[in-house]
Structure 1
Amino acid sequence: MPRRRRPARPGALADLSPTRILSQIVVLQLAYYACAAVLIVFTALVAGQKISVDLLFSWRSLRGDTTIGWTLGLVWVLNSLTCVIFILLLIARSKLVLDFAVTIHFIHLIITSLYSHAVPTNLFWWALQVCSAALMTFLGVWACQWRELRPINFGGKGGGAKVTQANGSAEDDEVGQSRGRGRGRGRDGAGEYEMVGMNERGEEV
């Protein structure tokens, strides 16, 4: 008799599958560069600078002694804020934000080193990457936790059941039970009921 396979736990292996993790990394990396390219092109056009691929992939463009270097630094920080939205939409789990944020910047380090044919030696570039990763992690964890802790709405309407008193006033069923006679409808809709007052001996009044 063939042995029965144990069904996988929902949300456990599916969320940690290598294929899904790899696809999320690729999508996040592409979104990271796409947003950075849009911001860099817009900033270069406003500043009247020449648009070049070096502004996106070369670490030599990020320098702390030039105005262009500081402007690019602010653009990359703004890009990290934008990528928090993609992390919230694609990852949505606060425990995985740090891993994906570090992975994005590590891949950026590899691509930058290959494009520039050298490992970055500019301290301004390294400081910017650390600040960008920390900012992305902090805001990403906060956004994902905010989403995880949101109350679940099952479609029910608030408000307690109403009980109609003999004098024509409507009050909550808890209040109606503490008073004398009353007639109302049960919460389960099983018909009307009559509330009878009781004395201390348990006899009807």
Structure 2
Amino acid sequence: MASNFRSYIWDPVLIICQIVLMQCIYYSFLGLWLAGVDSLVQSSRSLDQIFSYEVLGFATMQGRLSMMAFILNSLTCALGLWFFIRRGKQCLDFTVTVHFFHMIGCWIYNSHLPSLSWWLVNVACIALMAVIGEYLCMRTELRAIPVNTGPKSNL
């Protein structure tokens, strides 16, 4: 008899819904973090902050603050992995998928491949999001299962 504990059932509809949900979380919270950064430096909001390669740079204060928003966004997306994906072994898959679709969007928006600073920021964000998401999910998966040791009167 085969055990069904932690069995994985192939459900493409669930996977697609989770991908869409993680993309929504990614862009919603990135927008909120960038709005917070913009309010600190009284900068105007623009789609360039999300999709343009030139915004992410070490030379300007706006570029460094935008990088900080991307890093903070990876932390909030790790919480999204914990709440909605709930499987440690799938965290890296969903993290790379979210950032891959972001790269495609940036590529379409800019019409050329990303700059070095964009790659550095996104690789750091992928690492943070995947590792923290996996840590949170594994902590939940490995939580002790309570066993009732009280008297068994209804045998």
TM-score by length of 2: 0.89
Identify which of 74, 94, 97 aligns with 1:100.
94
Query: Could you tell me which amino acid in structure 1 is paired with residue 136 of structure 2?
Result: A
* Deviations 1:103-130, CA, capped at 9 Å, x for gaps: 111110001111122221x211100110
- The higher relative CO (CA closer than 8 Å, separation ≥ 6) is in 2
- Displacement of 1:12 in angstroms is 2.4
Query: Could you tell me which amino acid in structure 2 is paired with residue 12 of structure 1?
Result: Y
- Displacement of 1:157 in angstroms is 6.2
* Structure with greater Cα Rg: 1
Query: Which protein is richer in strand relative to its size?
Result: 1
User: Which consecutive unaligned segments of at least 5 residues does structure 1 have?
Assistant: 1-8, 159-186, 190-205
Moved segments of 4+, more than 4 Å: none
User: Which consecutive unaligned segments of at least 5 residues does structure 2 have?
Assistant: none
Identify which of 119, 122, 127 aligns with 1:126.
119
1:43: which partner in 2?
37
Number of positions where the alignment pairs a residue of Structure 1 with one of Structure 2 = 150
Distance 1:58 1:26 in 2: 22
- Displacement of 1:100 in angstroms is 0.6
Question: Which structure 2 residues correspond to residues 66-77 of structure 1 after superposition, within 5 A?
Answer: 66-77=60-71
- Displacement of 1:153 in angstroms is 2.6
SS of structure 2 residue aligned to 1:12: coil
Question: Which structure 2 residues correspond to residues 54-203 of structure 1 after superposition, within 5 A?
Answer: 54-120=48-114, 122-154=115-147, 156=148
**CA-atom RMSD, angstroms?**
1.9
Judging changes above 3 Å, is the alpha-carbon distance between structure 1 residues 148 and 111 closer, same or farther for their aligned structure 2 residues?
Answer: same
Query: Which protein is richer in helix relative to its size?
Result: 2
**What fraction of aligned residue pairs are identical, expressed as a percent?**
33
